[in-house]
């Protein structure tokens, strides 16, 4: 799923996360160097550090967001996106225009589309459902399984906040969703 340059060294994810946690104070220029690496695990350390940094009180969310956006081409697996997009992108965009997410959702790049809907998880968590619902509209018929899975998760979380909104969405667009996404969304109604 990664590009041809990516090298996998074989470090266990638990070790990768421990390294990231131990180095969560690493300056952003050093995190950026890790993100530019061709080694999968080094990029996972970088996105994990960004996630840990985003959780910290007084975090410089704009600097982390800017770093992420400069390196969209290096965030090219589902697990990089799932690890940090909600906090690094979504949290930063809570009180800002979200045009960037709509641009990502309309991208030809499947990772950008997954990034858009995954970043919306944090927005949903804040109780703001309008933009995440609109992103689900854009991505409902996405042909990529790795995008559909997170559309289903977003819809499930929307349904936990507003079941009627989810029911209305499923009545209109349910057939456009993959079976997996529909099942995930419907768990909010069970």
Output the pLDDT for position 19: 87
Choosing from 12, 46, 80, the residue where a domain stops is 80
Select from 80, 112, 141 the last residue of a domain.
80
Last residue of a domain, one of 49, 80, 111: 80
CATH of residue 146: 1.25.40
In this structure, the answer to whether residues 55 and 121 fall within a common structural domain is no
For 133-151, the pLDDT digits (tens) are 999 999 999 999 999 999 9
Phi, psi (rounded to 5 degrees) for 114: -65, -40
Kindly report the pTM of this predicted structure: 0.93
User: Is residue 131 domain-shared with residue 160, that is, in the same domain?
Assistant: yes
* Domain with 35 in it: 1-80
Instruction: Please give the Cα distance from 158 to 177 (Å, whole number).
Output: 15
User: What would the mean pLDDT of 127-136 be, rounded to a whole number?
Assistant: 98
Which tens digits make up the pLDDT trace of 92-111?
999 999 999 999 999 999 99
In this predicted model, what pLDDT tens digit does every residue of 3-32 receive, in sequence order?
Answer: 567 788 777 888 888 888 999 999 999 999
Say whether 39 sits in a helix, a strand or coil: strand
Cβ-contact 29, 60 below 8 angstroms: no
């Amino acid at each position: 799923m990664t590009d041809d340059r990516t090298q996998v060294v074989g470090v266990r994810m638990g070790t990768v996360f421990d390294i990231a946690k131990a180095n969560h104070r690493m300056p952003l220029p050093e995190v950026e160097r890790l993100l530019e690496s061709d080694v999968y695990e080094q990029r996972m350390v970088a996105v994990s550090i960004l996630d840990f940094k985003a959780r910290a009180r007084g975090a410089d969310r704009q600097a982390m967001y800017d770093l992420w956006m400069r390196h969209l081409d290096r965030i090219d697996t589902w697990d990089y996106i799932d690890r940090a997009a909600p906090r690094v992108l979504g949290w930063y965009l809570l009180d800002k225009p979200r045009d960037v997410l709509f641009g990502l959702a309309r991208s030809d790049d499947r990772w950008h589309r997954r990034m858009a809907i995954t970043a919306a998880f944090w927005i949903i968590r804040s109780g703001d459902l309008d933009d995440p619902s609109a992103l689900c509209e854009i991505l409902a018929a996405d042909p990529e399984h790795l995008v559909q899975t997170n559309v289903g998760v977003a819809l499930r979380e929307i349904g936990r906040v507003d079941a009627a909104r989810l029911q209305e969405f499923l009545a209109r667009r349910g057939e456009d969703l993959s079976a997996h996404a529909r099942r995930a969304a419907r768990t909010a109604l069970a």
